[in-house]
Amino acid sequence: MTPESMLRVLIIDDEDPFRLAVEMALKLDGYAAKSYSSPEIAIEALKEETYDVMVVDFYMPGMNGIEFMMWMKENGIDTPVIMLTAAGSETTAVEVMKAGAYEYFRKDQVNTSHLASVIKSVHEKYRLAKDKEQIEQEQRKLRERETELASLQMFQKTVNSLGQFVENGLAALARAMSDKEKETLGLVDRSLQPKVAEVFAELNKDVEFVAKGVKSMTDLSALVTSKIENLKQGSKSAETPAAEPERVNP
């Protein structure tokens, strides 16, 4: 078994004989175990080190186990914790589990071989929870893309329908104005024809201005189409983050 595949376990306990005994037993069981005598020392080490599971004493001078877990949460460390205590009650157990510990044991009930199997079980439970969280996150992103895609498709349909309606109307208006201009020029005195032509020229400019607006709507529709295609492509090729290599222990 390579060091990269070994579960990394951190033990924090102020009782040196117990802490060192657990560290040695876990190493013999194939774990990459390391221990510190206080949360304060461990916090300094955690600036450079990472672990798969932590075994933490509840009662310690200075920062206790729950306070250490609060520090972990505040600093974005979600490594699963197994809490140990020399003496505890149901109230303590409830408090520890509410704080986020995965397991809780009294020290006089700890058997090192059993602890090793619990560490493996806790790590597997943690990995399953993270995998589930990742799947749910990807599903949320997919639903968000689908909602955005549906909204854009509806918007595109509206823009296209409105643009087509206005474009057809402008074409009909342009034809009608051309016919009306010819008709009017044939009815008025020749001296008034330049003025009539000028009036219709201004009207044609207004129609052209509106036509440019329709062109802008067409351009907007093209942008929406591009966005829709990008969303469709993103939904097809969405990749989940690569999982970390699984660490195993006997």
| Backbone phi and psi for residue 221, each to the nearest 5 degrees, phi listed first | -60, -40
How far is the C-alpha of 34 from the C-alpha of 22, rounded, in Å? 10
How far is the C-alpha of 102 from the C-alpha of 106, rounded, in Å? 14
pTM of the model: 0.61
Instruction: Count CB-CB contacts under 10 A for residue 11.
Output: 26
Q: What is the mean pLDDT of each run of 10 residues along the chain (250 residues)?
A: 71 93 92 95 93 93 92 93 80 81 84 87 91 87 80 74 72 77 76 78 76 66 70 61 52
Q: Are strands 53-57 and 32-36 parallel, antiparallel or unpaired?
A: unpaired
Q: What is the pLDDT of residue 1?
A: 47
How far is the C-alpha of 216 from the C-alpha of 149, rounded, in Å? 22
Asked if residue 51 lies in contact with residue 9, where contact means CB atoms within 8 angstroms, the answer is yes
Helices (DSSP H) in 188-241: which residue ranges?
Answer: 193-237
